Amino acid sequence: MGVERAVAELGVLIYPGAQMAAVHGLTDLFGVANRIAAEHQAAQLPLLRVSHWQVEGDQVPERVYDTHPGPAGALVAVLIPPSIGGFSERQAPQELIRWIRQQHANGATLGGVCVGSILLAESGLLDGRSATTHWTSAKAFAERYPAIKLKADTPIVDDGDLITTAGLMAWSELGLRLVNRLLGPSIATGTARFLVVEHSDSASECGSNFSPILNHGDASILKVQHWLQSTGATDVSLAAMAERAGLEERTFLRRFRAATGLKPTEYCQHLRVGKAREMLEFTNGTIDHIAWTVGYQDPSAFRATFKKITGLTPSDYRGRFGVSATAAVAR
């Protein structure tokens, strides 16, 4: 008797003015990923289930489509597509905002494409965090949401539980990032090759960008994870994490590892290196400055940890995947 495959459900939001090409494109992308995973006979990988959630007025989003109808479960991710006609905060009803916040509280990763990031901004979840959006709305975005660290020149900001992208067609990279997380880099690369779309080489060559497990169901540990993501884990201690979780330290250690698969120190290292990878790819800051920014007082310790996780030194990583290297290849 075969083992029943796990299911990972990804919800795609359909709001008034949403780009339907992105809605259906994401659905097809995940379908291709499922087929490639099946061809690899990777029964241990989850089946990607895609559902569409329609927004009508000030009502809670309603499921209107499901690629694999079955019992309702928690969403692994919620994807907010772009809008060709533009989008403003006036189109963000409170019931929708509450629903988005609830999905995040339940452990879903949230992804906003282009101006779809406005909905994430309206939810308040991006406050104190880094994000990007389409260049045409960058000025208004920065003025309305001063608590968000806007990186308008960065095409994608992958902050673990919150992902934002800047381009109208960036839904494909967002989808591939999630395939990478859920099915692995080889399936993501195969999906990109089949669809003939670009995909970041850094994820496949140096291990996936840090993708924390969020849908484990332990609310106390999830609370700490969200806190670590928001602070960058730059100055934290075991005692502070245990206090945030409301648990005794030994209990916290046991539950944290059971939920995330990592010790708290390892988790923080992966989170910091993930942020450093982004800075090495998209900024020209010195490596010592990047080390300090992500929480390392000792640059040599940062270099050692970075190489242990990615297999490359920070300078080699920048030379291979930095924007200047990419531009040189393009020329």
Looking at residue 205, what is its pLDDT?
Answer: 60
pTM: 0.77
Shared domain for 113 and 152, answered yes or no, is yes
Q: Are residues 174 and 315 in the same domain?
A: no
137: Cβ–Cβ under 8 A, 6 or more apart, which residues? 86, 115, 118
Report if residue 211 sits inside a domain: no
Which of 177, 205, 233 terminates a domain? The answer is 205
Host domain of residue 249? 219-323
Using the 3D structure, point to which of 205, 232, 254 is the last residue of a domain: 205
Q: What is the pLDDT of residue 191?
A: 93
Residues 151 and 240 in one domain: no
pLDDT for 199 equals 73
Q: Are 151 and 202 in contact (CB under 8 A)?
A: no
160 with 225, same domain?
Answer: no
Whole-Å CA distances, 270 to 176, 228, 274, 307:
20, 11, 6, 11
CATH number, domain of 256, equals: 1.10.10.60
Tell me, yes or no, whether 182 and 249 share the same domain.
Answer: no
pLDDT of residue 202: 61
Residue 329 covered by a domain: no
Could you tell me if 109 and 74 are in contact, meaning their C-beta atoms sit under 8 angstroms apart?
no
Nearest to 177 by CA among 164, 166, 168: 164
Rounded distance, CA 168 to CA 170, Å? 6
128 Rama sector, left if φ>0, alpha if ψ -120 to 50, beta otherwise: left
Q: What is the mean pLDDT of each run of 10 residues along the chain (331 residues)?
A: 77 92 96 91 85 91 93 92 74 88 96 89 94 88 94 87 89 92 87 84 63 89 94 90 96 95 93 90 90 94 93 91 51 33
DSSP state of 89: G
What's the pLDDT score for residue 325? 47
Give Cα separations from 290 to 127, 201, 298 (angstroms).
22, 21, 11
Instruction: Write down the pLDDT at residue 58.
Output: 84
